[in-house]
Structure 1
Amino acid sequence: MITAESLAIVQATVGLVREHGTEITSTFYRSMFVTHPELKNLFNMSNQATGGQQQALASAVYAYAANINNPAVLEPVLSRIAHKHASLGIKPAQYTIVGKHLLGAVKTVLGDLATAEILAAWDEVYWLLACDLVAREATLYAQQSARLDKQYWRTLRIERIVQETPDIRSLYLVDPDGAKLPAFVAGQYVSIALENDGLQQIRQYSLSDHNSQTYWRITVKREAQTDCPDGFLSNLLHQLTVGDTLKAGIPYGDFVVQADNEAVALISAGVGITPMVSILNTLAKQNAALPIRFIHAARHSTQVALQTDVATAAQSLSDYRSVFFYETHDNVTTADEFVGRMNLEQVALTDLPEKTGYYLCGPLAFMRVQREWLQAQGVPAERIHYEVFGPDMFTGLQ
């Protein structure tokens, strides 16, 4: 627990640190990568190029400092960060490296404004955050019997490729020696690592099928590449062929169906359909009797991935409805297809019980709109769950 003196200093200076936040985190990353270039193999260099990673770190530090005595606000963010770190195999010793360079950056940027008392208070905040995350990550590693050495990453072979849409393909991954893959919970993701120009880069992809298969399936959208390296890993994955190999971590993620749900509404857009299909296939395999609503938005019906899974799952569910929204569509044929952006008002969710779990995945702006609509209808915030990838995951939807 933070001391009263340090808490007062942090609260008094959080505005100052926020004002210089991006400069501080940019200085931090630059300094750390000079001293520890090997860490470039862990950090998303696309987000470094766009500045997204720097802003995400700054936002996370502000949020923690501003809400240090408000665990209800911090809990979902800390859980999300811990799962992300565990998926990367982050080690406790790496927090020492980060702390040294982060506090050094504060001193460099703020200069004489960063008194010894201010630095000590922010050091205390950082280590409270670090120790919290280390403890959470240790629990996650223990649950998966993970080893934080070279055994953490495993080589998987691509057994099959299915082109879902012009820009989305599913890769079916197996152990080359036939070993059983680690278990996962529907809705979780796995880190995938590929090398490019001597640098390992890692991205997280939702597992898009249920856990009872002999393979892992990831469903990847090929993102457009620009002047920065954004999208380069998805493009590399789209260049691979059957028989090629890649490295994968251990499944993690807290975007999973809650035990107390009396109904489930899966609301997605674009490639955000992937964890939803994993959840849907799992519920279908269990012959779940609870009401399930599968609501998806796409630009066109030809851009909906995993359509066969959605149709097949419906055959095993007793109270199920799928609804699709298409931005453009010249042949809407059923009452559960709509032209235009998603409007949940048209779906009639009022028949769902009070303890329905609402699950959102898609672009951040899309999820904000759906979340605001649900809350306006009286759905409690704790019943709305969402999956966020990239630097936005640290700031959430607030």
Structure 2
Amino acid sequence: MLSEKTIGIVKSTAPVLEVKGKEITTHFYKTMFEAHPELLHIFNHANQQKGRQQTALANTVTAAAKYIDQLEVLLPVVKQIAHKHRSLAIKAEHYPIVGEFLLKAIKEVLGDAATEEILQAWAEAYGAIADIFIQVEKEMYEEAEQQKNGWKDFKPFRIVDKVKESQSITSFYLAPADGQGVPSFSPGQYVSLRINIDGETYLQNRQYSLSDSPNEKMYRISVKREDEGTPAGKVSNYLHECEIGYEVEVSAPAGDFVLDFKNRKPAYLISGGVGVTPLLSMLKTIVANDPEQEVTFIHAAKNSNVHAFGEEVKDSVALSNHARNYLLYSEPTSEDKRERKYDQEGYIDQAFLESVVKENDGQFYVCGPVPFIKAVVSELKQLEVKTENIHYEFFGPAINIEEPTPVQ
């Protein structure tokens, strides 16, 4: 429990954190990695170089300042981040290191404005927040290890098959190197891959959605080949060149963007680009286990060259009398137009959604690039879809699209 004095001081820092937050977190990561380079084995280097990790942490710290007296408001965000931490093997012993360098960064960026009173209040607040993360993650580690075929941290897997799905996306089938089975997962979850790339000083970590329905033998991930030479392209290009039999380390499935099996309302699965992967897992699971469930699958892609899983989606939809499938191309090729390979040219907009959404009280799952998600979520709200019925996931650090709703 934090004192009223501590809460008041921390809340008073929220306005300055909104302005200086990213500067603080950028300085924090720089100094922490200089002192503890071993932590570079854990963090996603591409997100660091793009500034996405710094932005995500700045948003989290600012939200913590605003809601330090209502930490329960942040619990959904805490759980989302904790899933990522567990999948990357971040442990309790890392939190004191983070706290030390975060406080130093606040002091060094804010200068004299960061008084001893403010630093002490933030030290207490960080300790309380860290304790919440440590406890939540402890339970997640135990759950991952104790489930059937479960394990803790990372486990060696082999690539047992590769399938090219489009010009840019390839699927990788991963099976445990020890010949054991794999634990089940909730459709929508992801795994972390840890890869030792020749010539790189540090291990590379990336998280990829599981793109098939659960089975007990192997996992499937589907990876977009990013531009070579970019931070994001380092691992994806390396993976695309790997041969069958190559060994990687894999964490147990994680993530809270999952299909709600208990809710029988119609499900709308809306994806853009490679964001199709977790929603394909949801679609295949729904039609295989509950053919009476109404489900609408909506996918947006540039054209057929980069469109993945078109036939797989059609085959899945055909298994149910209550499933529909819509495809939009923003830049269809001449062949696409001639053979009419899509349902509509352009983007998913409000007019399109109005034409296909039958019930605005259904469950809506959205995945894709951040601008895509922001646009679709905004359009769904224009259709009076309730916020609690909209679930979204994008690839990268946890960045809130909207503010948490305070508890009244």
TM-score interval (norm. to shorter): over 0.9
Q: Which range is displaced more, 314-323 or 335-344?
A: 335-344
User: Which residue in 1 is equivalent to 2:124?
Assistant: 124
Q: Which residue of 1 aligns with 2:241?
A: 239
Aligned to 1:389: 395
Aligned partners of 1:257 and 1:357 also within 8 Å:
no
Determine helix, strand or coil for the equivalent of 1:20.
helix
Write the letter of the residue equivalent to 1:282. Answer: T
Q: Is the 8 A contact 2:295 2:322 kept in 1?
A: yes
CA deviation vs aligned residue, 1:82-132 (integer Å, no higher than 9, x gap): 111111111111111101111111122222222111001111221222112
Paired residue for 1:352? 359
Of the structure 1 ranges 290-299 and 324-333, higher mean CA displacement relative to structure 2 is found in 324-333
Instruction: Report if the CA contact (8 A) 1:289-1:318 is conserved.
Output: yes
AA at the equivalent of 1:157? R
Aligned to 2:370: 364
Residue of structure 2 equivalent to 1:341: 347
Partner SS state of residue 188, structure 2: coil
8 Å CA contact 1:364, 1:397 repeated in 2: no
Q: Counterpart of 2:223 in structure 1: which amino acid?
A: V
* Structure 2 CA distance for partners of 1:82 and 1:49, relative to 1, 3 Å: same
Contact persistence 2:158–2:246 (CA under 8 A): yes
Q: Quick one: structure 1 residues 66 and 22, their matched pair in 2 at CA, closer, same or farther if it must change by over 3 Å?
A: same
Tell me the CA shift for residue 310 of structure 1: 0.7
Q: Secondary structure of the residue that 2:271 maps to in structure 1?
A: strand
Task: Indicate conservation of the 8 Å contact 1:263/1:353, yes or no.
Answer: no
TM-score by length of 2: 0.91
Partner in structure 2 of residue 35 of structure 1:
35
- Tell me the CA shift for residue 345 of structure 1: 2.5
Gaps of 5+ in 2: 404-408
Q: Distance in 2 between matches of 1:317 and 1:344?
A: 27
**Number of the residue aligned with 1:267:** 270
Mapping of residues 81-100 of structure 1, within 5 Å: 81-100=81-100
1:241-268 deviation digits (Å, cap 9, x = unpaired): 1111111111100111122241110000
- The residue number in structure 1 matching 2:231 is 229
Q: Are 1:264 and 1:292, in contact at CA under 8 Å, matched by a contact in 2? A: yes
Per the alignment, residue 165 of structure 1 pairs with 166
- SS state of the match for residue 165, structure 2? strand
Kept after mapping to 2: 8 A contact 1:83/1:254: yes
Asked whether 1:212 is paired with 2:215, we answer yes
Distance 1:16 1:86 in 2: 31
Shift of 1:344: 4.7
CA distance in 2, matches of 1:18, 1:63: 9
SS of 1:242 mapped into structure 2: coil
Deviation string for 1:343-391 (max 9, x for gaps)?
A: 253253442362x110000011111111011111111101000012213
User: 1:111 matched to which residue of 2?
Assistant: 111
- Residue aligning to 1:311: 314
Q: Give distance in 2, aligned partners of 1:372 and 1:300.
A: 24
Are 1:79 and 2:79 counterparts?
yes
The corresponding residue for 1:282 is 285
- Which stretch of the first structure deviates more once superposed, 340-349 or 288-297? 340-349
1: CA distance, partners of 2:233 / 2:39: 20
Name which of structure 1's ranges 373-382 and 266-275 shifts more when overlaid on structure 2: 373-382
Aligned to 1:302: 305
Indicate conservation of the 8 Å contact 2:287/2:293, yes or no: no
Deviation at 1:317, TM superposition (A): 1.5
Name the SS for the 2:13 alignment partner.
helix
Q: Per the alignment, in what secondary structure is the counterpart of residue 202 of structure 1?
A: strand
The TM-score with structure 1 as length reference comes to 0.93
Cα drift, residue 238 of structure 1: 0.8
Given that residues 225 and 240 in structure 2 are in contact (C-alpha distance below 8 angstroms), is that contact kept between their aligned partners in structure 1? yes
AA partner of residue 358 (structure 2) = D
1:255 to 254, 257, 263: 257
CA distance in 1, matches of 2:380, 2:231: 36
The runs of 4+ residues in structure 1 deviating greater than 6 Å are: none
Distance in 1, Cα, partners of 2:190 & 2:179: 21
Q: Could you tell me how far apart the structure 1 residues matched to 2:341 and 2:48 are?
A: 45
Q: Is the 8 A contact 1:77 1:396 kept in 2?
A: no
Q: Displacement of 1:394 after TM fit?
A: 3.1
Q: How many residues align?
A: 393
Partner of 1:2: 2
CA distance in 1, matches of 2:341, 2:195: 44
The residue aligned with 2:406 is none
Instruction: Describe the shift of the 1:394–1:131 C-alpha distance in structure 2 as closer, same or farther (beyond 3 A).
Output: farther
State the 1:215 CA deviation.
1.2
SS at match of 1:316: coil
Relative to structure 1, the CA distance from residue 313 to residue 71 in structure 2 (aligned partners, 3 Å threshold; closer, same or farther) is: farther
